[in-house]
Amino acid sequence: MNTFNRVAIVGGTHGNEFSGIYLLRKWQDTPALISRPSFETETLFANPNAFRDNKRYIDCDLNRQFAPADLDNPSLGNYEQSRAKAINQQLGPKGNARTDLIIDLHNTTSNMGPTLILLKNDAFNTQLAAYVSERMENAVILFEDHCSMDEQLFLCSIANQGIIVEVGPQPQSVVRQDVLEWMDSMTGHILDFVDLYNKGEVPELPDTISAYRYVETLKLPENAQGERIGMVHKSVQDADFTPLNNGDPIFTTFDGSEIYWNGNYEAYPHFINEAAYYDNNLAMSLGKKVDITVIK
């Protein structure tokens, strides 16, 4: 069993997702809140200029800049590409990182509650998911393990273990107390678990847990010129992790027509109508509900 010696908590990867940014300030004032006996915890404010300008990013999405080839490409030099290289130097380098675990704190405008996003299905992650699920009634576990850590573009993929704490609904550029508390609480449970894991004191966990696994991303309705011509249907709005079946309404065009989902599985939508995804005309992600074996 590997041991976690260095844990990094990252906030402000997106400059208008405020919960992590304000939690970092609190923890910097009171480091004991994120200290645990068996490892070192550091904090990193990933995108200060985007926060200064009250935007998700200055030049491009920082949380998509961590492909190894991009980190190694000196010609990629805009603000976020440069931040990615600096963060990779500080916490990484990716593939051989000095940081054992990165917890990256995010908000969504979608009604996802406190969601723990895991990038691989292994003993640590499945035990962590079980531990957190048992301690937070409204926690959601979401596996985005469709590619290797090396192939992941996320900031947290620098470390061998990288996880995302994704909490909503919260409008961009707002602090909601409920959302802040969920993020604070989930992060605390993760740190507690890592400490127990290091000490070999993980309590008894269930054999399986209920989770979701990412399958695909749906686009908003577009015309031939790629312009948005419709919106998320009101029956789907706010219904993250509520099942969607073939023939259910999913979009409404601005001229009033309904569009129905055409799919051959029971889908669990999430990131529904996320503000940041409008850049690429994305409407939502779809996942499947899965029982995950807790690997002991």
Binding-site residues: 14, 17, 106
For the sheet with 230-232, list strands across it.
230-232, 249-253, 258-260
Active site annotation includes 80? no
**Residues 94 and 66: beta-carbon distance below 8 Å:** yes
Cα gap 137→227, rounded to integer Å: 40
Catalytic: which of 40, 80, 134, 166? 166
Q: Please name which of 49, 54, 45, 50 lies closest in space to residue 25, comparing C-alpha atoms.
A: 45
Binding of its own copies at residue 26 (CB under 8 A)?
yes
Cβ closest to its own copies, residue 173 vs residue 242: 173
Does residue 61 touch its own copies according to CB under 8 A? no
49 binds its own copies (CB under 8 A): no
Give the residue from 121, 66, 56 showing the smallest Cα distance to 94.
66
Among 2, 28, 30, 223, contact with its own copies (rule: CB under 8 A): 30
Q: Give me the 77-116 binding string for its own copies, x by CB under 8 A, dash otherwise.
A: --------------------------------x-------
> Which residue among 240, 273, 284, 287 contacts its own copies (CB under 8 A)?
273
Q: Is the Cβ of residue 43 or residue 172 nearer to its own copies in the bound state?
A: 172
Out of 77, 171, 206, 247, the residue judged to bind its own copies by CB under 8 A: 171
Instruction: Determine, following the binding rule CB under 8 A, whether residue 137 of this chain makes contact with its own copies.
Output: no
Residue 289's nearest CA partner among 167, 152, 141 is 141
Q: Which residues pair with 176 in a beta bridge?
A: none
Q: Does 50 bind its own copies (CB under 8 A)?
A: no
Show the beta-strand stretches assigned E in 33-170.
40-45, 101-107, 113-118, 140-143, 161-168
For residue 29, what is the DSSP state?
H
Q: Does 177 interact with its own copies (rule: CB under 8 A)?
A: yes
Closer by beta carbon to its own copies, 21 or else 97: 21
Contact region for its own copies (CB under 8 A) — 20-28, 57-65, 115-123, 147-155?
20-28
Interaction between residue 31 and its own copies (CB under 8 A): no
| Type of residue found at 135 | R
Q: Is the dihedral of CA 171, 56, 93, 42 positive or negative?
A: negative
Amino acid at 272: I
Token couple for 100: 């054992």
**Residues in touch with its own copies (CB under 8 A):** 22, 25-26, 29-30, 54-55, 109, 169, 171-178, 180-181, 231-234, 237, 252, 254-255, 273, 275, 278
**Active-site positions?**
166
